Amino acid sequence: MLASAGVRLSAASRGKVSLVSVSRRLCTNQPETPAPILAPLPDSEPVEPRRPRKDPSDCSVLLFPGQGSQFVGMGRGLLQYPNVKEMFTVAQKILGYDLLSLCLQGPEEELQKTVHCQPAVFVTSLAAVERLNHENPKAIETCVAAAGFSVGEFAALVFSGAMNFAEALYAVKVRAEAMQRASELVPSGMLSVVGRPQAQYKHACLQAKEHCVSLGIEEPVCTLASYLFPDGRVFAGHQKALDFLQQNSRRLQFMRTKPLPVSGAFHTELMESATEPLREVLRQVEIRRPDINVYSNVDGKRYMNEKHVRRQLVKQLVSPVKWEQTLHEIFERTHGKKFPYTYEVGPGNQLGATLQRCNMKAFKTYEHVDVTTHGDD
């Protein structure tokens, strides 16, 4: 079992206790220290680990970015905060290479590789949580929901207490390696598109596949891989199909197109070979019901139990990321009801940009936790 690695990083504790406790070392036989338990209030009765309803303006939501947000230098502004250096030390033992050096110094072409950038974004995002906890502990104490984009979902689950840091990082490592291998089987990629209201995305996929067939490509793949915001989509599939979409963007009513810096057609059937390695590692790790609401990329709905987490994380590899739907699920409310504070924890601010497009009122209480500068810079 992966737990025999001897490290348990508790993500369930909040408030006075740091979110990610890295006091236990890898590769030791020391007994595990129990996770801190907050004392119950006087005269309180035992209850389910669920949070009571609160005024939305006194609550927070955390958003965790995914692959594509990485850049050389990320994490530089986080090293002064509790536990962060130790998190990167644990990561080096699990991954077998110096992740901190790669994040801070590159080279960029190595950091951009799927096998490296997914663990890098995962660790940097949880390190950003440490900064938020240090500078604004109330944001952690009052958090009622979390969501992550693609690999960011693993960080959200660690934050929620559903997985521990070390085991989740190992699962991310296996996932990234499997996705990299799947990407190398066929020339493929992803294309971000902002369309006009009259754009017909599924019909565009059909035309692109017909073009591939005319080139002699058997069973071509071109499909929607992400729903970002209204008329913001990501296509993924065979590279020739994506080239067709770009070359015919005006006719297809696309205002902007941009190839993404990824190695393959993620969240499509071309990732099918990556599902079994991920399914197998998720069988080995301990997964618990999240302490707060965590939303699945597959359908935008919150996770219900540990079996649901395992099933959806595997399904996510070959299913489109329904991010727009997730944001609606989190932030939809009746007229006049207040919105929570929203924090994007990790490199980049792309998730904030999608929130701005989906819900301007919710965006007014959005903040990005910087990963490059110190709080006193």
Residues 6+ apart with CB under 8 A from 368: 343, 344, 349, 352
Q: What is residue 377's predicted lDDT score, i.e. its pLDDT?
A: 53
- Predicted confidence at residue 55, as pLDDT, reads 63
d(CA 107, CA 118): 15
Query: What pLDDT, on the 0 to 100 scale, is given for residue 161?
Result: 98
Low-confidence ranges of the chain (pLDDT < 70): 1-57, 375-377
**Residue tagged active-site, from 13, 267, 296, 319:** 267
Which residues of the chain are in CATH 3.40.366.10 domains? Answer: 54-182+270-369
Which DSSP category does 174 fall into? Answer: H
Fold of 54-182+270-369: Malonyl-Coenzyme A Acyl Carrier Protein; domain 2 (3.40.366)
pLDDT for position 53: 57
68 burial class (0-12, 13-18, 19+ CB within 10 angstroms)? buried
Residue 334 has what pLDDT? Answer: 77
CATH 2.30.30.40 matches 185-262: no
Active site includes 150?
Answer: yes
pLDDT for position 28: 32
E-only strand ranges, 21-162: 60-64, 143-148
214 catalytic? Reply is no
pLDDT in the model for residue 136: 97
Q: What is the per-residue pLDDT for 329?
A: 97
Selecting among 150, 160, 226, 296, the annotated active-site residue is 150
Q: Each residue of 350-375: pLDDT tens digit?
A: 999 999 999 999 999 999 999 998 76
Q: pTM of this prediction?
A: 0.86
- Which residue ranges does the chain devote to CATH 3.30.70.250? 185-262
Cα(297)–Cα(325) distance, integer angstroms? 9
Amino acid, single-letter form, for residue 361: K
